[in-house]
Amino acid sequence: MQKCGVPVKPELPPRELLPRHLAIIMDGNGRWAVKRGLPRVVGHRAGVETLREIVKACLEWGIEILTVYAFSTENWKRPREEVDTLMELLVEYLQKEADELHRQGVKIGAIGRLYELPEKAQRELMRAKELTARNRKLLLNLALNYGGRAELVDACCAVVRDVLRGKLRVEDIDERVLNSYLYTAGLPDPDLLIRTAGEMRFSNFLLWQSAYTELWVTPVLWPDFRREDLLAALHDYARRERRFGGIK
């Protein structure tokens, strides 16, 4: 948008029309690197830089929760070298960014089967979570070794254990109760889910929580995703009428 030849920065939608909880499938790092004739690890590093900028934008714009798909339960199937690199990048990110995120008021959280991550990654994640535990400006929720189906299996197993222990009655189990056993217990469902790189699927991400989440897909690869792209998604979201199965 331009005025008299001078670019005009698009305005942010009204605060009440912004999502409270934003989720992102950060896809396309490998393809970004391959297109440039570079090793895939370069794409993953570029993706970390994009995450840094999007976290800043969410802080500035008052989004309360940002959940990002950082490593899925299926990603272990990738070549060992790439998996090792991703784990190293996770540790590096937490070591470099935790203190700055803490100063900015960001709380670091994580969901997934975290106990299966390498010990060093678990230690750094625990340190970052403890350091930022009292922050309230933004919850940066990292989905690590996360799978929506695995989450539902883990929740069902926990429910069964509590029933067998007499802590829960079968007849009391409903959506609210099951929701309290999910990794995301206590968090609101995502209002908006962004997927980069143009793929039209959930890829096992937040399957239960996304029942009424608004979707926004862009062909932009994650390392190329910028504030302007996020702003476009927020404007599109602000124009939507959310009915949750009802009629308005």
Cβ partners under 8 Å of residue 177, min gap 6: 159, 168
**Dihedral, CA of residue 65, residue 205, residue 98 and residue 133, to nearest 10:** 50
Chunk the chain into consecutive blocks of 10 residues (it has 248) and report each block's average pLDDT, rounded to whole numbers.
45 95 98 97 97 98 98 96 95 97 98 98 98 98 98 98 98 97 98 98 98 98 98 97 72
pLDDT (tens digit per residue) in 166-175: 999 999 999 9
State the first-to-last Cα distance of the chain, in angstroms, to the nearest integer: 33
What pLDDT score was predicted for residue 241? 87
Residue with tokens 């089967």: 113
The yes-or-no answer on residue 75 being catalytic is yes
What pLDDT score was predicted for residue 243? 76
Cβ count near 35 (within 10 Å): 11
The pTM of this model reads: 0.94
Please check whether residue 150 is in contact with residue 113, taking contact to mean a CB–CB distance below 8 angstroms.
Answer: yes
The yes-or-no answer on residue 99 being catalytic is no
What pLDDT score was predicted for residue 247? 61
Catalytic, out of 27, 29, 141, 145: 27
In whole angstroms, give the CA distance from residue 225 to residue 189: 23
Catalytic, out of 29, 75, 224, 236: 75
Extended strands (E) in 83-218: 106-111, 138-146, 192-195, 214-217
